[in-house]
């Protein structure tokens, strides 16, 4: 296991990083292949994304070929101008041939300008459309995936799929694509023209090809490696930085600063060394290419001079050769830079393709069954469920909650209460058996029907950027201000909200707002009541409230829950008083079931024990 930790933290450093600890399956590390092709999933994803643009791309290819032809024609025209434009002037002041050539240069310039403009705008549009489609698809996909997926795949990774990965693709589209296409066409076009101009000189010039190929291949391989290491290093640096800033309260309270700085310095220096390796590769590669280019130019100059002396080539050809050779070597720089963006983009596409391949474990029904009678009756039939194979959380649950009943669910941690709630809201599907809402299997219900009927409030009282009113309105997007206020009033949250700096317009994301956990929870409650579902599930929803707020909510619940089915899960039994029925769960089974008073009066059961312990805890 220490070997595992060693390979993951890289090979370039021997500093002790045991503080980092061991984690299973580093899902985000890039695989070791320093490939430069889109393979497997990423290739398929790319093809899929490009499919609607096939025609547009062919047009682009045509445009870019014309553009490069015009671009490459200019040195050739310069040659023609020198060879056939100057002699007529010398001989009889005839400007005609030169005029034609200059007009052609001008024409080539204009063609190049127009095609270039078309190419840049069109390829830019395809790139942006593609990004938009990809963003949209990834966002919707994450929303479509089941909570089970989100339980494993941390939110940090979901966010980086949609930010840094998309950015990497954006980077490639913005800078890399144009550069690569132009570089490639320049390379091929120039080689063809050189051979066309003069075969002997052309062959001499192209002798540099193998060397260029070798140095580029070497650089590509090495920079892929070093770049990957550099990216991993900076990722580690970023994690440490963000965590020690985000958790600065704990850092300062526990005098963690020196240790954190020590770790930071190690990571900072690792990052520096990784970048140094990458930078030094460029320091070899760039002058290397230049050296090959300069040697070629010198050779062409000597051999070309020799050929010109013998009258085998004209001065114009020699001039054109030297101009073309310059252009031949320039794109090499572009290509080398493209490798890195290409590598990140390919890794990013690979990760995105992997995520997009995941299918929700809780799929939408193909032919949804409409909900005819909305009464809020909830039935569990022989429901078995396990998160991990072979370890049943619910071994076979039978439960019938008639519409309008308020049920309190009690039991120790791990008894299966939250699992039951997650099955009732179809965050998960049962391994076997059925969960029915008003007689319809949840798996046959359209998501819209299900979500408008069943709403769950948990401890996780996430609030979105926006005002308090916006957040309450999240429960029913069309609701008027009066509806929003009514929902808050029903919960007794109105006064609390009005006491905030801007009342309902107080921005929750604004740190100045200082909403306490309890206040946030009240907003979450109001949100659920505004949604007005037939079935309301409260999973530990009051646990972060202090006693007065909890009491406020309890009182509100009496009225709010009237006519609704409710399943209330609570560690603390204070909630039980409003329940019509109490279910005590243990090891995934219902061990007691009855009206609260009867269970307490029974005297010997789990519930009466719990009740007594709870009374004690109140002191």
Interface of this chain with other proteins, residues 475 to 514, rule: CB under 8 A? 475, 477, 496, 511-512
Q: Which stretch binds other proteins (CB under 8 A): 312-320, 334-342, 378-386, 433-441?
A: 312-320
Which 103-122 positions form the footprint of other proteins (CB under 8 A)? 105-106, 108-109, 112-113, 116-117, 120-121
Identity of the residue, 36 or 74, whose beta carbon is nearer to other proteins in the bound complex: 74
Residue in 69, 264, 368, 403 binding other proteins, rule: CB under 8 A: 264
Residue 318 found at the interface with other proteins (CB under 8 A): yes
Identity of the residue, 294 or 559, whose beta carbon is nearer to other proteins in the bound complex: 294
Which 153-182 positions form the footprint of other proteins (CB under 8 A)? 154-156, 158-159, 162-163, 167
Residue 66 found at the interface with other proteins (CB under 8 A): no
CB-CB contact of 446 with 382 (8 Å): no
The tokens of 292 are what?
A: 């090959």
Strand order in the sheet with 378-388: 391-401, 378-388, 432-437, 440-441
Residue 11 found at the interface with other proteins (CB under 8 A): no
Say whether 567 sits in a helix, a strand or coil: strand
Strands (E), 377-515: 378-388, 391-401, 406-410, 432-437, 440-441, 454-457
Rounded CA-CA distance 164/157 in Å is 10
Site string (392-411) toward other proteins, x via CB under 8 A:
--------------------
**Count of CB atoms situated within 10 Å of the CB of 375:** 17
Identity of the residue, 105 or 567, whose beta carbon is nearer to other proteins in the bound complex: 105
Min dist CB 114 to other proteins, Å, is 8
Size of the site for other proteins (CB under 8 A): 178
Identity of the residue, 20 or 434, whose beta carbon is nearer to other proteins in the bound complex: 20
250 burial via Cβ count (<10 Å: 0-12, 13-18, 19+): exposed
Rounded CA-CA distance 567/538 in Å is 6
Say whether 319 sits in a helix, a strand or coil: helix
Say whether 184 sits in a helix, a strand or coil: helix
DSSP state of 30: P
CB-CB contact of 588 with 416 (8 Å): yes
Residue in 20, 225, 374, 375 binding other proteins, rule: CB under 8 A: 20
Rounded CA-CA distance 444/104 in Å is 71
Which 536-555 positions form the footprint of other proteins (CB under 8 A)? 543-544, 546-549, 551
If you search the block for the tokens 């140095």, which residue do you land on? 215
Say whether 144 sits in a helix, a strand or coil: helix
Min dist CB 530 to other proteins, Å, is 10
Residue in 382, 432, 516, 559 binding other proteins, rule: CB under 8 A: 516
Rounded CA-CA distance 168/127 in Å is 13
Residue 142 found at the interface with other proteins (CB under 8 A): yes
Which 227-256 positions form the footprint of other proteins (CB under 8 A)? 234, 237-239, 241-256
DSSP state of 247: T
Q: Which stretch binds other proteins (CB under 8 A): 186-194, 207-215, 282-290, 484-492?
A: 282-290
Residue 359 found at the interface with other proteins (CB under 8 A): no
If you search the block for the tokens 């954190």, which residue do you land on? 260
Site string (556-595) toward other proteins, x via CB under 8 A:
---------------xxxx-xx------------------
CB-CB contact of 559 with 504 (8 Å): no
Residue 387 found at the interface with other proteins (CB under 8 A): no
Residue 427 found at the interface with other proteins (CB under 8 A): yes
Q: Which stretch binds other proteins (CB under 8 A): 308-316, 335-343, 369-377, 436-444?
A: 308-316
Rounded CA-CA distance 375/503 in Å is 36
Min dist CB 322 to other proteins, Å, is 6
Identity of the residue, 260 or 392, whose beta carbon is nearer to other proteins in the bound complex: 260
Identity of the residue, 437 or 600, whose beta carbon is nearer to other proteins in the bound complex: 600
Residue 124 found at the interface with other proteins (CB under 8 A): yes
Residue 272 CA: distances (Å) to CA of 182, 243, 276: 33, 20, 6
Min dist CB 22 to other proteins, Å, is 4
Residue 452 found at the interface with other proteins (CB under 8 A): yes
Residue 207 found at the interface with other proteins (CB under 8 A): no
The tokens of 5 are what?
A: 């930790």
Residue in 207, 217, 315, 562 binding other proteins, rule: CB under 8 A: 315
Residue 140 found at the interface with other proteins (CB under 8 A): yes
CB-CB contact of 231 with 340 (8 Å): no
Identity of the residue, 347 or 570, whose beta carbon is nearer to other proteins in the bound complex: 570
Smallest CA-to-CA distance from 401 within 422, 370, 380 is with 380
Min dist CB 382 to other proteins, Å, is 25
Residue in 188, 199, 261, 498 binding other proteins, rule: CB under 8 A: 261
CB-CB contact of 97 with 85 (8 Å): yes
Residue in 56, 59, 100, 322 binding other proteins, rule: CB under 8 A: 322
Residue 304 CA: distances (Å) to CA of 309, 313, 315, 321, 510: 8, 7, 9, 9, 72
Instruction: Report CA dihedral (143, 149, 152, 153) to the nearest 10 degrees.
Output: -40
């Amino acid at each position: 296991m220490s070997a595992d930790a060693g390979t993951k933290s890289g090979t370039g450093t021997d500093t002790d990083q045991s503080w980092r600890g061991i984690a299973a399956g580093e899902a985000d590390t890039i695989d070791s292949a320093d490939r430069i092709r889109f393979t497997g999933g990423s290739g398929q994803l790319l093809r899929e994304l490009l499919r609607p643009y096939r025609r547009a791309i062919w047009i682009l290819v045509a445009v870019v070929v014309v553009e490069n032809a015009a671009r490459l024609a200019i040195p050739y025209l310069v040659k023609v101008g020198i060879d056939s434009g100057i002699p007529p002037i010398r001989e009889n002041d005839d400007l005609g041939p030169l005029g034609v050539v200059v007009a052609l240069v001008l024409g080539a310039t204009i063609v190049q300008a127009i095609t270039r403009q078309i190419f840049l705008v069109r390829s830019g549009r395809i790139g942006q459309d593609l990004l938009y489609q990809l963003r949209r698809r990834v966002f919707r996909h994450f929303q479509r995936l089941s909570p089970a997926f989100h339980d494993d795949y941390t939110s940090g990774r979901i966010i980086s799929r949609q930010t840094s990965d998309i950015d990497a693709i954006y980077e490639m589209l913005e800078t890399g694509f144009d550069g690569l296409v132009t570089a490639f066409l320049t390379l091929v076009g120039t080689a063809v023209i050189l051979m066309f101009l003069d075969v002997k000189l052309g062959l001499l010039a192209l002798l540099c090809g193998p060397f260029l190929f070798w140095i580029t291949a070497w650089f590509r391989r090495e920079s892929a490696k070093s770049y990957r290491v550099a990216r991993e290093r900076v990722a580690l640096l970023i994690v440490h930085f963000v965590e020690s800033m985000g958790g600065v309260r704990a850092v300062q309270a526990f005098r963690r600063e020196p240790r954190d700085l020590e770790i930071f310095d190690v990571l900072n220096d690792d990052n520096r060394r990784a970048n140094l390796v990458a930078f030094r590769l460029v320091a070899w590669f760039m002058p290397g290419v230049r050296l090959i280019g300069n040697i070629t130019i010198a050779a062409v100059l000597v051999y070309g001079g020799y050929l010109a002396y013998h009258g085998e080539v004209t001065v114009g050809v020699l001039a054109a050769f030297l101009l073309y050779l310059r252009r031949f070597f320039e794109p090499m720089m572009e290509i080398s830079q493209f490798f890195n963006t290409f590598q990140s983009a390919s890794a990013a596409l690979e990760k995105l393709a992997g995520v997009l391949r995941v299918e929700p474990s809780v799929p939408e029904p193909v032919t949804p069954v409409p909900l005819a009678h909305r009464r809020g009756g909830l039935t569990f039939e022989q429901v078995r469920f396990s998160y991990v194979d072979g370890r049943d959380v619910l071994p076979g649950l039978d439960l019938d909650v008639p519409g309008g009943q308020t049920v309190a669910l009690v039991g120790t941690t791990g008894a299966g209460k939250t699992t039951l709630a997650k099955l009732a809201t179809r965050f998960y599907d049962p391994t076997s058996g059925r969960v029915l809402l008003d007689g319809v299997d949840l798996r046959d219900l359209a998501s819209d029907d299900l979500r408008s009927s069943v709403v769950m409030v948990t401890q996780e009282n996430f609030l979105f950027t926006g005002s308090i009113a916006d957040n309450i309105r999240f429960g029913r997007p069309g609701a008027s201000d009066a509806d929003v206020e009514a929902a808050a009033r029903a919960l007794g949250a109105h006064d609390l909200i009005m006491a905030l700096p801007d009342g309902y317009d107080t921005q929750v994301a604004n740190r100045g707002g200082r909403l306490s956990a309890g206040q946030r929870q009240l907003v979450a409650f109001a949100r659920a009541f505004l949604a007005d579902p037939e079935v309301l599930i409260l999973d530990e929803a009051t646990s972060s409230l202090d006693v007065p707020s909890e009491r406020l909510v309890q009182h509100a619940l009496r009225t709010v829950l009237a006519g609704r089915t409710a399943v209330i899960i609570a560690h603390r039994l204070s909630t039980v008083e409003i329940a019509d029925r109490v279910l005590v769960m243990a090891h995934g089974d219902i061990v007691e079931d009855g009206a609260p008073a009867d269970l307490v009066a029974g005297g010997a059961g789990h519930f009466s024990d719990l009740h007594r312990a709870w009374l004690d805890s109140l002191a």
